[in-house]
Structure 1
Amino acid sequence: MLHVDDIQLAFGGVKALSGVSVHADKGKITAVIGPNGAGKTSLFNVISGFYRPQSGKVTLDGEDISPLKPHARAYRGMSRTFQNIALFHGMTVLDNIKLGAHTNLRSGVISAGLRLPLTRNEEAKLDEEIQREVVGLLELDHVQHHHVEDLAYGLQKRVELARALVMKPKILLLDEPVAGMNREEKREMSRFVLGVKKDWNTTVLLIEHDMSMVMGISDHVVVLSFGKPIASGTPDEVRANPDVIKAYLGGADEPARTAA
């Protein structure tokens, strides 16, 4: 589904990514891990089009999307959440979720402004789909009419996931989806991500530094260190890799450490 090949990214004289390649198979969960400064978020910004690398290629479902801007990649089926919550305060949960569906709507500005039948029919259909496919899946029924700023942190992160899902993406990029959550909220989010994979067959690319979640839900793990790939494989293979243990997970006499 996604091929990221030999990405080279530098800011002035600082190399953020050096020869990074990541392949995410269709319907699988691929995790990218690494210590502080490893280049994980820079990689996501390259994939989603916020950064333009000096060289390398990003291919989505067989199409080279390297020249495309972020909004064009969204129209190709790429959706993303961010490390910091980016919801619209003053709006309800349902309205925040509906904003994510703009790539699937056909009515334009004039039709929407005049409330023409096309717009009204699209919105009615969208409401039904959100209720049936997204709100229920993420168990947001009881808060869908609440303002997002009134929700607990874990629920706000869930709303962000719902907004990304309503696009019906080919690939879903999750940037630290359980950062700042308590143990129960992490378990719930892991369950929801697995549900998206199972029920929608969505390809997921995940950045996360909670190793319990990564090793528990991922099909494939890629490890970065100082902008370079050092390991790739199944969770068990990565967990046992001596380079990973040294660079990230900690040695036998050193407790595992987490990173942003």
Structure 2
Amino acid sequence: MTQSEAVSREAARGQETLLRTEGLTLRFGGITALREIDVEVSVAEIVGVIGPNGAGKTTLFDSIAGMIRPSEGRIWLDGREITRDPAHRRARAGIRRTFQRQQPIGWLSVEDNALAALEGRGGGGGFWADLLGLPSRRRIERARREQVMGALEVCGLVGEARRPAAELSIGQARRMELARAIVDRPRLLLLDEPTSGLEEAEVEIFAATIEALRAATGCSILLVEHDVPFVMSASDRVLVMQEGRVIGSGTPAEVAADPVVRAAYLGA
């Protein structure tokens, strides 16, 4: 880690809280998937979440993103409770996510894949503006494409903008989905297994990309990963989950040295 990266990470810690969960519990029938989860993520902080399969990591993401409602507990974003807000309202408040399984729109270009994330805000002028190509609609289109190119630049994909998404490598597709998640600037970005299927060189590129994203936008990132070395190098703090509980948290060094974590997950 360079000195500038260390300074950036230190600056990210100790700032005001962006996301907070309190007592987050989720039951599916007789199965408890989450057990009283308390999480805090500060502004511009990267927090990694690790744990074995079935630990509840993706379920935690689904709860924060509004895809499922917790049985108990509360969630706040920037001091406002969002526990009962639907997913689309949380997205408009700045929570974005990627998924473990890649979901590119293969027949669209990389640029248009990212542009699709902005279409939910409407085109301006409705059906007739689109049909007639009114000046107001063209202005909005130009502004949005400029916004898209900014996101592609952060993700190192400007040179692939016109390329069909179906032709991308796995690493490029992961970065395209990241661009799609950040084009409408997020406040909190949830990344679910973003390095799955990537080669070592691609993992390094992705790590540099999310660090550049944090520096450029100041967004917070909550990161679920099985690649422990990647999480330890990319995160300011790490949470360790097992059977729906948080069994350890702290800096990467603190978590790596925690005997409970080592016995349960990292290996004694």
- Greater relative contact order: 1 or 2 (C-alpha under 8 angstroms, separation 6 or more)? 1
Structure 1 length normalisation: TM-score? Answer: 0.92
The answer for the alignment partner of 1:129 in structure 2 is 147
Q: Which of 36, 55, 73 is the equivalent residue of 1:19?
A: 36
Aligned residues, how many? Answer: 250
- Preserved contact between residue 76 and residue 82 of structure 2 (Cα < 8 Å): yes
Aligned-partner residue type, residue 226 of structure 2: H
Residue aligned with 1:136, SS: helix
Q: Describe how 1:1-260 pairs up with structure 2 within 5 A.
A: 1-102=18-119, 107=124, 109-110=126-127, 111-131=129-149, 133-251=150-268
- How far apart in 2 are the matches of 1:124 and 1:52? 38
CA separation of 1:14 and 1:127: change in aligned 2, threshold 3 A: same
Structure 2 length normalisation: TM-score? Answer: 0.90
CA separation of 1:39 and 1:113: change in aligned 2, threshold 3 A: farther
Gaps of 5+ in 1: 252-260
Aligned-partner residue type, residue 151 of structure 1: L
- Preserved contact between residue 74 and residue 103 of structure 1 (Cα < 8 Å): no
CA RMSD between the two structures: 1.3
Moved over 4 A (4+): 103-106
1:193-234 per-residue CA deviation (whole Å, 9 max, x = no partner) reads 111111211111110111111110101111110001111111
Shift of residue 175, structure 1, vs aligned partner: 0.5
Gaps of 5+ in 2: 1-17
- How far apart in 2 are the matches of 1:102 and 1:75? 12
Shift of residue 112, structure 1, vs aligned partner: 3.5
Percent identity over the alignment is 37
Shift of residue 38, structure 1, vs aligned partner: 0.4
